[in-house]
Amino acid sequence: MTRKQFFIILSVALVSFLGTVDMSIVNTALPQISNDLHIPMNQAEWISSAYLILICMSLILFGKLGDQFSKAKIFQLGTLLFTVSSLVCGLSGNLIILLVARCLQGLGASMTMATNLGIITESVPFGARGRALGINTTIGQVGYIAGPAVAGAILSVANWNWIFLFNVPIGIFAYVFGEFVYKTPAKKKPTNLHIDWLGFGLLAVLIGLFFVGIFTGQEIGFSNPNVIIAFVIAAILLALFIYVERKVADPILALSLFKNPGFTISIIALMFMYIIIYFNNVLLPFYIQDTLKFSPSHTGLLMSVLPVVNVFTAYLGGVLCDKYGAVIMSLRASVVFVIAEVIFAIMQPNWTLVVLLLGFVVFSTANGLFQNNPMVMENAGKDQQGIAGSVLALSRNIGFTLGLSISTSLLYTAMSFKSGQRITTYPMHNDALFVFGMHTTYWIAAIIMLSVTVMLFWLLQHNKKI
């Protein structure tokens, strides 16, 4: 790997960190934002939700633009938009301005997420892509996990505005740095762009409705008629989108990509993996703080084991991917995932803390070794790297969102079933009931990852026959 290639990876990874850390950093500051802006908490939560929704609604468009125009230019424009909108977020003094700025920030993040993997795969030779994507994955995942810790550190010395202003100097540096390192193709001109606007409109609206339904359902219940209507309309739009995309000459999303079993299985495996990753974000803080009775600071310290181990294992996974192949490494990692879920599904509060830490290490090792990015990108053509990266990012975000919804639903359903009454929060003075619900949820997580193991084993055998 040359110094130029390393600088490209570093520049992309730096912006990836900013985009992912902003998905979780705001949640920690929402109570303070709610108090300072004098708004109810349910309104404040849309400051976080709007960012994710705008990212997902526009990912496919920017992936298409990257394939037809220039991934580097789209990425740089996204970095600039993200940085400027972060400044507006930090200077805003009311909810309307903050929400508009967050939507623009989401568009900027979407532009970078749609093109970052394509830039890396185009810049790095095939034999080094595993390591390159591993570095980007490591830093991006650290951003997801480190968000609350970064927010806590900032809020301990400054007000909530600085969780947005924190992005500005880093974003400016990343933009200037990128201007020096990215290759910018000169022959692709915007006049040659062909965008299926009808297909994009249908996809954007159905994704928006899907996420609004998820976020609203978590607040008012999924049996609410308005939530059900949102999901039904989204399903109708999905069927209409598939119909339109099969008819147009140059679709916004080439459905032929999904005829490749390697691409389809990789996307499904990726989404399932991120679903169970979010199980930890929901369950383990409750378990450590409320069941094991650790302080919030000690809880954060214990949870930091996950990203620390992942920093090392993700790069190792990339190296091994270059040697053995993405499918083989992901298959092995899925087995390790199952072991981690079983550890969490059987551990008891009276067991030594070593068991919990062992579960953390096993889980982070599996997370690092699982080579979902190379699996997806190597199953798309050179002219489809932007779209493939966009679908990958969309699946990741859907996985996180479904992970939150599924984990809480499974947890509360299991506890309600065990107790014979409806439970929607931690059962104070009944730790055993929570442990039962947590164990049930983790057993289901183990089954989910076991299904991923079966899919990847089939894919490995399928590839051998080709």
- Of 9-13, 122-126, 271-275, 397-401, the poorest mean pLDDT is in 122-126
Quote the pLDDT of residue 466: 64
- In the chain, the largest separation of any two C-alpha atoms, in whole Å, equals 67
pLDDT of residue 398 exceeding 70: yes
Q: What percentage of the chain reaches a pLDDT higher than 90?
A: 31
Quote the pLDDT of residue 85: 95
pLDDT in tens, 267-323: 998 899 888 887 887 788 889 888 998 886 677 778 778 777 877 787 788 788 888
- Distance from C-alpha of 264 to C-alpha of 262, rounded to nearest angstrom: 6
CATH class of 254-465: mainly alpha
Delimiting residues of CATH 1.20.1250.20 domain(s) in the chain: 1-190, 254-465
Cα angle for residues 217, 221, 227 (degrees, 5° grid): 50
pLDDT in tens, 205-217: 999 999 888 888 8
CA distances from 437 to 82, 401, 406, 457 (A): 40, 20, 13, 31
418-428: average pLDDT: 84
418-433: average pLDDT: 86
pLDDT of residue 186 exceeding 50: no
Quote the pLDDT of residue 274: 86
Quote the pLDDT of residue 250: 83
432 falls in which pLDDT band (50, 70, 90)? very high
Joined together, the tokens standing for residue 231 give 């999901």
330-338: average pLDDT: 93
Kindly give, in sequence order, each residue whose CB lies less than 8 Å from that of residue 351, ignoring residues fewer than 6 positions away. none
- Of 43-57, 142-156, 227-241, 356-370, the poorest mean pLDDT is in 142-156
Quote the pLDDT of residue 187: 46
pLDDT of residue 433 exceeding 60: yes
CA distances from 172 to 77, 127, 200, 227, 285 (A): 12, 32, 31, 40, 35
- Distance from C-alpha of 327 to C-alpha of 305, rounded to nearest angstrom: 27
- Distance from C-alpha of 330 to C-alpha of 372, rounded to nearest angstrom: 7
Quote the pLDDT of residue 183: 60
39 falls in which pLDDT band (50, 70, 90)? confident
Average confidence score pLDDT of the chain:
85
pLDDT in tens, 114-137: 888 888 888 877 777 777 777 777
415-420: average pLDDT: 90
pLDDT of residue 63 exceeding 60: yes
417-431: average pLDDT: 85
Q: What percentage of the chain reaches a pLDDT higher than 70?
A: 94
153-166: average pLDDT: 85
Q: Output DSSP code: residue 94.
A: S
pTM of model > 0.75: yes
pLDDT of residue 11 exceeding 60: yes
Quote the pLDDT of residue 148: 67
Quick one: fold of 1-190?
Growth Hormone; Chain: A; (1.20.1250)
174-195: average pLDDT: 69
pLDDT in tens, 75-91: 999 999 999 999 999 99
